[in-house]
Amino acid sequence: MFFFFILSIRPAEISKEIYPEINTLHSVTSKNVNFQSTDTNHMIQSDMNISNEFDAAVGNIINIIVSYDMGWSTRGNGRSYDSLNGYGAVIGFLSGKIIDFATRNRKCAFCDYGNNKENHDCRKNFEGSAKAMEPSVGVELMTQSTVLKEIGLNARVLIGDEDSSTIAAVRRESLQSIFKLCDSNHLKKNFFSNLYQLKKQFKEMAKKDTIPYLKKCFSYAVAQNRGKSSELANILRSIPEHVFVRHENCGNWCGNYRNTRNNKPQEVLLTDPKLYNKLREIFFKYAANASKFSIAASSQANESLNNIMAHKAPKNKCYSRSASSDYRFASAVCNKNEGDSHIMNIKEKLCLSPGRYTKSFVAKKDEIRAKRAVIARLPVTKKQRNVLRRNKEALRK
């Protein structure tokens, strides 16, 4: 049931605001569960009522959660380099499908050679810095998307990276309040880079095991406290003390706290008091933001789209001065939503007969994609990782 899913991952104030139907759905299903009757006719009638009520409540849902991210055509995120173009897409959080996409191009080779803008397929549509593309595309997709308008849906929750310029711009332009959730992968990456910065100042941080151990502590805490922000905050605050061998505030996750580690010494011990203060600062900062980590919000789908795009338009070549890059992104979008079978649909639309091997090629690719999707849905435990690896190797053959 998808709304149980919503209830479990959303902070309550967001789910109340964007899913007012949630209470109806909840009461309908609990009726369904508690319903016990021996009269068959009565039972069928009630079942029908319940399913009608349920369908009506689901039909009333018009607010959706989307993830948004932007990719650039040069290495280094466009934040450090000046990319000539950028491409962004909003992806439905529950469906994983791309809802709408847009691109920004700052240069056109034909215009630069002195051609008139009218006599070629000019894609130049942006003046400004590469960084300003992200909010510009974000506003277009979140507030002016024709796809969303046509089907009558509102994107009310945006999952994105920590960059605040996009959400600020979207909130300025939108008539409704828009909620923001941070992608937990981006938050984690920022935390790790904070640790690596300490490496230059402190010898103990440069030791081989220190940073991996701190990363491990952090990742375990996050993985084991999904949806429990106060517990997560407590654990994050106790980690700096733990690595400095003070276990009074450690919880059950710590072997020394449980007194079960009599023979085995702790893996990493730190002693520098200055380092303690720095680590404490970092961990307390992230503990204060624990509610952001405890939600399973992720813009993983956008990252996978950007990876597909990197295959279609390799970053060491320049496609961004003509229409080529736009076509490549559109192709990446089709690939993400429909798999390689989109090639057949395009040929049909253009009234072209498919090449000799296209059909079999597409069928094979789609089969691999379906198998991969099944594997990706399996829960990953240590044992299964081996099975996964073997399956992946078999797929490659």
In whole angstroms, the minimum distance from the beta carbon of 122 to Zn ion comes to: 3
| CA dist., res. 273 & res. 124, Å (int) | 55
Q: Is 332 exposed, middle or buried (0-12, 13-18, 19+ CB in 10 A)?
A: buried
Give backbone dihedrals phi and psi of 371, rounded to 5 degrees, phi first.
Answer: -65, -45
- The answer for residues whose C-beta is within 8 angstroms of residue 41's C-beta and 6 or more apart is none
In whole angstroms, the minimum distance from the beta carbon of 244 to Zn ion comes to: 10
The SS3 of residue 90 is strand
How many residues are there in the chain?
397
- Whichever of 214 and 301 has its CB closer to Zn ion, that residue is 214
- Whichever of 62 and 111 has its CB closer to Zn ion, that residue is 111
In whole angstroms, the minimum distance from the beta carbon of 254 to Zn ion comes to: 3
| CA dist., res. 114 & res. 123, Å (int) | 15
- Whichever of 169 and 239 has its CB closer to Zn ion, that residue is 239
- Whichever of 10 and 242 has its CB closer to Zn ion, that residue is 242
**8 A C-beta contact, residue 267 and residue 216:** no
Q: Which residues contact Zn ion (rule: CB under 5 A)?
A: 108, 110-111, 122, 242, 247, 250, 254, 256
In whole angstroms, the minimum distance from the beta carbon of 252 to Zn ion comes to: 10
Characterise 207 by phi-psi region: left (phi > 0), alpha (psi -120 to 50), beta (else): beta
| CA dist., res. 63 & res. 156, Å (int) | 6
CA distances (Å), origin 238, targets 25, 105, 212, 361: 40, 48, 17, 54
- The answer for residues whose C-beta is within 8 angstroms of residue 343's C-beta and 6 or more apart is 354, 358, 362
| CA dist., res. 40 & res. 44, Å (int) | 6
Question: How many Å separate Cα 119 from the centre of its chain?
Answer: 40
- Whichever of 113 and 357 has its CB closer to Zn ion, that residue is 113
- Whichever of 68 and 110 has its CB closer to Zn ion, that residue is 110
In whole angstroms, the minimum distance from the beta carbon of 322 to Zn ion comes to: 9
β-pair partners for 101: 89
In whole angstroms, the minimum distance from the beta carbon of 2 to Zn ion comes to: 39
- Whichever of 156 and 242 has its CB closer to Zn ion, that residue is 242
Q: How many CB atoms lie within 10 A of CB 314?
A: 12
In whole angstroms, the minimum distance from the beta carbon of 223 to Zn ion comes to: 18
- Whichever of 39 and 248 has its CB closer to Zn ion, that residue is 248
| CA dist., res. 60 & res. 234, Å (int) | 39
- Whichever of 49 and 271 has its CB closer to Zn ion, that residue is 271
In whole angstroms, the minimum distance from the beta carbon of 188 to Zn ion comes to: 22
- Whichever of 235 and 254 has its CB closer to Zn ion, that residue is 254
Of 90, 93, 183, the C-alpha closest to 140 is 90
In whole angstroms, the minimum distance from the beta carbon of 249 to Zn ion comes to: 8
In whole angstroms, the minimum distance from the beta carbon of 110 to Zn ion comes to: 5
Per-residue tokens: 139: 């506003």
Sign of the Cα pseudo-torsion (232, 234, 240, 241, in order): negative
Of 218, 210, 270, the C-alpha closest to 239 is 218
